[in-house]
Amino acid sequence: MFDDIQKAALKAPLSSSFVKTRKQGGRDVSYIEGWKAIDEANRIFGFDGWARETVDIKCVAEGERQIGSRGDTGYSVTYIVKVRVRVGDIMREGCGAGHGIDRDLGQAHESALKEAETDAMKRALMTFGNPFGLALYDKQQANVVDESKPVKPAPQKQSAMPEDFTARVEYMVECREAIAQFTDAESLAAWWKSEEQAELRRKHQLDQSQVDALKQAVINRRDALQGKRAA
């Protein structure tokens, strides 16, 4: 299902710069923000390589309460939501809760629902790997790294990974990003078949499985573009 580049990204440590903390139940809780989870999903799976769907919504609490320093009348609302995330044939689900407090009842509902959907989506994505917050469920947070601190590289054997591996990975990532940017199926096909791209694939010594993975990304994007045009 996932190519080598995606597998490496899903196994990579989580940068501490993406980790936020908040007080909850008298203790600090670490989390990643919803926008970052979406950003990582777009980066790893592709802009058209994943989808989310809200499959269940329940308002479990609603009531008046005093808010603000003057004790104005407001509302407190709580939702529980289930979200389903699909990546190709893989489906994951997550449940989340959200709380909203506002002087306006509609705004309280909106805040609670938005928070619950975001929480559920992050829980579903989390099951795919560290970039989505899985590393935070380890109490030792061994897979959370501070990238601002230089890490002494481990000694490598002579038969270690070739020096051009990084360039190959970067090229494949750039290819996926370029594919996602095309808005015309014919232009996409011409780009893929061009001698320039063929030469770059040879230059970076892509094996057949890597070429096939990029070709499948082209096919998926082409089908998506043709589907939009037909609609």
Model pLDDT for residues 38-69, shown as the tens digit of each residue: 999 999 999 999 999 999 999 999 999 998 88
Question: How many domains does the chain divide into?
Answer: 2
For 143, residues 6+ apart whose C-beta sits below 8 A from its C-beta are 13, 14, 130, 134, 135
d(CA 52, CA 218): 22
Cα-to-chain-centroid distance, residue 183: 22
pLDDT in tens, 8-17: 999 998 988 8
Are 131 and 210 contained in the same domain?
Answer: no
Q: Is residue 151 part of a domain?
A: no
Tokens linked to 223 = 């089908």
d(CA 199, CA 210): 15
Would you say the pTM of this structure is higher than 0.75?
no
Q: Is residue 150 part of a domain?
A: no
Residue type (1 letter), 30: S
d(CA 42, CA 179): 13
CB 154 within 8 A of CB 36: no
The last residue of a domain, from among 81, 110, 143:
143
In three-state secondary structure terms, 74 is strand
Which residue segment(s) compose the domain that 12 sits in?
Answer: 4-143
Are 11 and 72 contained in the same domain?
Answer: yes
5 compared with 26, residue with greater pLDDT: 5
Cα-to-chain-centroid distance, residue 32: 11
- What is the chain's alpha carbon radius of gyration, rounded to the nearest angstrom? 22
Other Cβ atoms closer than 10 A to 200: 14
State the DSSP H helix or E strand holding residue 197, giving kind and residue range, or none if neither.
helix 195-203
